[in-house]
Amino acid sequence: MDLCFLSASEIVDKIKKNEISAVQVAKSLIQRINLLEKKVKAFIYFDKEYFLKKAKDSDDWRLSGKSLGPLHGLPVAIKDIFKTKDMPTYFGTSIRENYLEEEESDVTKLLIKAGAIIMGKTVTTELAYFDAGKTTNPHDYLRTPGGSSSGSAAAVAAYMVPISIGTQTAGSVIRPASYCGITAIKPTYGIISRKGCLQQSFLLDQIGIFSRNIEDLSMCSSILSKDNINNDLKIKEPKFIFLKTSKWDNIEKEAKKLFENFINKISKNIIKIENPKFLEKAYDYQKIIQETDMAHNFSYFYEKYKEKIGKKLIEAINRGLNYKAKEYAIAVENMNLIYNQLTDTLGNFDSIITPATTGFAPKGLDFTGSPEFCSIWTYLGMPTINLPLIQNSERLPLGIQLVGRKYDDKNLLKNANWLFKKHKIN
């Protein structure tokens, strides 16, 4: 059996039942990494000896009969912007002097406490913005995996790890998940602690999880979240709203056709709503906040290493430095206003359904793709999930994005499970 193809839930379950060991899992993943990492380049740091040792420790613990955490023996890959004591943390830039951290991020702490093994650090774009890292798309090495959580998405898609952690400030979880053809969740703003994670934007940064099915997302969310997202995924027939935003026309022709075909398949569960005008400004508001916050949070890099920083980041910070406080204040205030207007307008619904990206993974590695189908949901702090339910003739994936009500991640997971079980591509 190729253990690398098991899901996170299956691994946890089989280890608990003593059917497999953490070392066996680690060995299978290492084999897979040996096979593919040269092409995929998902990791910025991976030490197989460390991984094997941690797996051995985990097995010893289990065999001694001590009580096991809910993720005992599960390997998890972590985006390179989370601080980890045992591994370097580069934030996707070579200019960082103190990349050996004394601090363990809250996310990795919670995972370790639950029994998981932090198996490596994955490639991020530079400071989690748009300047790409080395990672490629496992479906086509000449295409971008998306960003900024490039390595976390690609590693899971390439079966080099069952589950991984990323972050999203515009579209950095859902977009790479869509391009790489895996499931991912970005829970409601604020319900996962960001302590020990690089801060790009206080008002926008949100942590996400990548895996290859909804059970895994649910299991890991419940470990990381302050709220109680439990594992109950009982299915009830959901009511989806297909929201055509003002960005709808930016979708690529083939993606549009395939998405509309998909929508037709579930038409009895769908209501369509055309371009609610009040949503339009949310794109600008997200941008004002993100760019201002980068100007503030990255001032050290900007001032000291300007010539060594990517062009896209420099341009964004330059814009960020020039906004007026009043513009920012309006953007902040509208977070709540627009959310309230949206839920009032949509009335009784379970999830919003939209394509996750404007198309399939773009060719080339420099451009990580457009986050425009994700960024307003990040701005509004709503939980979103990517489901890899569309494929083109070249077998490139495209994600269906579900967007839930704030603090109702539980229902969103149920809706996603309903759709995923029914329309999974085999």
Report the residue number, 53 or 296, with the smaller CB distance to a copy of itself.
296
Asked if 130 and 317 count as a contact pair (C-beta separation under 8 A), the reply is no
Token pair of 84 as six digits? 């980890």
> Closest approach of Cβ 296 to a copy of itself, in Å?
5
Cβ distance to a copy of itself smaller for residue 107 or 233: 107
Put the strands of the sheet holding 117-122 in their side by side order. 43-45, 117-122, 75-79, 163-168, 206-211, 183-186, 384-391, 397-403, 351-355, 240-244, 270-274
Number of residues that bind a copy of itself (CB under 8 A): 21
Closest CA to 393 of 255, 264, 261: 255
Strand pairing class (183-186; 206-211): antiparallel
Residue 193, CA distances (Å) to 158, 241, 345, 420 in order = 28, 30, 31, 28
Shortest reach from residue 311's CB to a copy of itself, in Å: 21
| 79 tagged catalytic | yes
The first and second tokens of residue 247, run together, are 């960005």
Token pair belonging to 373: 């189908």
Read off the amino acid at residue 324: K
- Using CB under 8 A as the binding rule, the residues of this chain from 266 to 305 that contact a copy of itself are 288-289, 292-293, 295-296
Q: Give the rounded distance of the alpha carbon of 199 from its chain centre.
A: 16
Q: Please provide residue 121's backbone torsions phi and psi, each rounded to the nearest 5 degrees.
A: -110, 135
Q: Where are the alpha helices (DSSP H) in 41-149?
A: 48-63, 106-113
Nearer to a copy of itself, 193 or 411 (CB): 193
Interface mask toward a copy of itself for 176-215; x: CB under 8 A: --------------------------xx------------
Site string for a copy of itself, 311-340 (x = CB under 8 A): ---------xx-xxxxxxxx-xx--x----
**H or E, element range at 390:** strand 384-391
Residue 375 falls in the annotated catalytic set = no
Residue 402 CA to residue 377 CA, distance in Å, equals 10
Q: Which residue among 54, 79, 121, 186 is the active-site one?
A: 79
Q: Which is nearer to a copy of itself, 206 or 222 (CB)?
A: 206
Q: Which one of 148, 178, 221, 351 is the catalytic residue?
A: 148
Residue with tokens 């204040």: 329
Shortest Å, Cβ 338 to a copy of itself? 13
* Active-site residue, from 105, 172, 221, 375: 172
Is the CB of 202 or the CB of 278 nearer to a copy of itself?
202
| Alpha carbon distance 285, 415 (integer Å) | 29
Cβ distance to a copy of itself smaller for residue 193 or 392: 193
Confirm whether 150 is a catalytic residue: no
**Residue 403 to residue 282: CA distance in whole angstroms:** 15
Q: Which is nearer to a copy of itself, 49 or 325 (CB)?
A: 325
Q: 117-122 and 183-186 as β-strands: parallel, antiparallel, unpaired?
A: unpaired
Tell me the catalytic residues. 79, 148, 172
Residues making contact with a copy of itself (CB under 8 A)? 202-203, 288-289, 292-293, 295-296, 320-321, 323-330, 332-333, 336
